[in-house]
Amino acid sequence: MNYSKDIFSLGAILIILLIRVWFFINCSILPIYITLPFLLFLNMIAVSIKHNHIHISVFRMKITNIIFDQILNLLTGTSTSSVKIIHVINHHSHNNNELDWGQTSQSGKGRLLYSFIAYTIFTPFAFFFFFSDWVRKHVNHPLVRYMRLEMYIILSIYIILCFTDPIACILTVILPFIMLQAVLTSFNFLQHFECETGNEMNSSRNITGSLFNLLYFNVGYHTVHHLYPKLHWSKFPEVFDKIRNEIKKELNHQGFWSALRYVVFSKSRLN
C-alpha cells in the first residue's frame, strides 16, 4: 500500500462486501424501509473510499489497483474511469464554473428547496450528456479504453445477479445505486452552492464533524481536497486546522444536516 492508513479503507470495503452479500442472500428477512437506507449508508462509505482511491491509488502495484477498482465498481455501480473523467478531469479543472458539468451557479437563489430538488433530479442527466460527448471526442483516451473493460465486468456481474435472484438484485443492488446517485448529486449542491468560483479557499463547504469524517474517510474537508487533490485523505484534518481561519465561517458546518439546513432551509437565505 502507498499509505498505511488505507488498511482502514480495505477493512471497510471487506466488511461492506460481506454485508452486501448477506443482504442479497437474505433480502426478504428485513423490510425494505430498513434495507434501502442501510445499503445506501454502506454505498456512501464505499463511494467515499472510491473517491479517495481515484486521487491516490491504495496500492503500489497496477494489478492490485485494477482488482480493487472492480470491487469498488461492484459496490458503487459506476466505473472508476468514468468517475475520474467526471470528477478529476472536469470538476477539479473547472470547480463550479461554467465549464463544470455539475455547476450549481445556475440554480435559483429564491425557493432554494425547489432548486435543490431540481438540481438533484436533473443534474445526473446533464452529467450523462456532457460525459457522453466527452467520451465521443476522446475515443482512444486510456480512461475510455479502461472504462469499456470496467463496464463489461460490471454488467456481466449484474446480469448474473439478476438471473440468480431478480428481486434481490432490484432491492439490494439497482435501487440502492439509483439512490446513491441522487445523494451524490445533492451532496455536490451542498458543497458548492453560492461558494466563490475561482477562489479555491472559499470555493467549497466543509463538514468538520468528527463522526461524519470518521465514517466517510474525511470527505468533509472539501476545501483541503480542492487545494491539494493529491494529498492523502488521512492528512486532511491536520491541513484544515492550519487554514480554517482563512475560510469564511459560513462555509464550515459541524455536520451534514447543519449544512443542509443552512443551504436549503435557513429562513435568512430564503428572503
Backbone torsions φ then ψ of 220, nearest 5 degrees = -70, -25
Q: In a structure prediction context, what are the per-residue pLDDT tens digits for the chain, which is 271 residues long? A: 999 999 999 999 999 999 999 999 998 888 999 999 999 999 999 999 999 999 999 999 999 999 999 999 999 999 999 999 999 999 999 999 999 999 987 655 556 788 888 899 999 999 999 999 999 999 999 999 999 999 999 999 999 999 999 999 999 999 999 999 999 999 999 999 989 888 889 999 999 999 999 999 999 999 999 999 999 999 999 999 999 999 999 999 999 999 998 888 874 454 4
Q: Which three cell numbers stand for residue 188?
A: 455536490
The rounded distance, in Å, linking the Cα atoms of 97 and 78 is 25
Which pLDDT score, from 0 to 100, does residue 111 have? 62
**What crossing angle do the helices spanning 62-76 and 6-25 adopt, rounded to 10°?**
40
What is the structure's pLDDT at 113? Answer: 82
Cα separation, 8 vs 89, in Å, equals: 27
From residue 245, give the alpha-carbon distance in Å to each of 79, 102, 222, 242.
37, 28, 15, 8
Question: Around 115, how many Cα atoms within 13 Å sit in the side-chain half-sphere?
Answer: 20
pLDDT at 253: 95
Which letter does DSSP use for residue 235 in this model? G
Q: Contact 206/252 with Cβ under 8 angstroms?
A: yes
At 268 the pLDDT is 46
Q: Please give the Cα distance from 228 to 238 (Å, whole number).
A: 13
CA distance 26 to 20: 10
Q: How many Cβ atoms are within 10 Å of 189's Cβ, its own excluded?
A: 23
Calculate Rg over the CA atoms of the chain. 19
pLDDT for residue 271:
45
